[in-house]
Amino acid sequence: QSYTQRLKDNKAMGEYRKKYQKLFMQVKKDKNRAKEFESWKKQAKEKINGMKKGKLTEDEVYNWIINNQ
């Protein structure tokens, strides 16, 4: 399964990608947000890995991404 297909099939992964790109562009414009971005990125990756291992549901990860910007 291709990466783009996985983004379409898994709403948490799709939302993660959108949020990641948005925050990444904000950091490019304002370097002072880099620490905040790195912290979010680390937490998001932990959530995604938890989902892949079956510890978290797709909905739990999706809701976390929506509520943590």
- Each residue's pLDDT tens digit, 38-58: 999 999 999 999 999 999 999
What are the tokens at 38? 């790195």
Please state, in angstroms and rounded to a whole number, the distance separating the CA atoms of residues 28 and 42.
18
Given a contact cutoff of 8 angstroms between Cβ atoms, the answer to whether 64 and 15 are in contact is no
pLDDT class of 3 with cuts at 50, 70, 90: confident
pTM confidence score: 0.85
Cβ neighbours of residue 58 closer than 8 Å, sequence gap 6 or more: 10, 11, 12, 51
Which has the minimum average pLDDT: 4-13, 15-24, 51-60? Answer: 4-13
Tokens of 66: 């929506």
% of the chain at pLDDT higher than 70:
99
Per-residue tokens: 34: 């880099």
pLDDT at residue number 29: 95
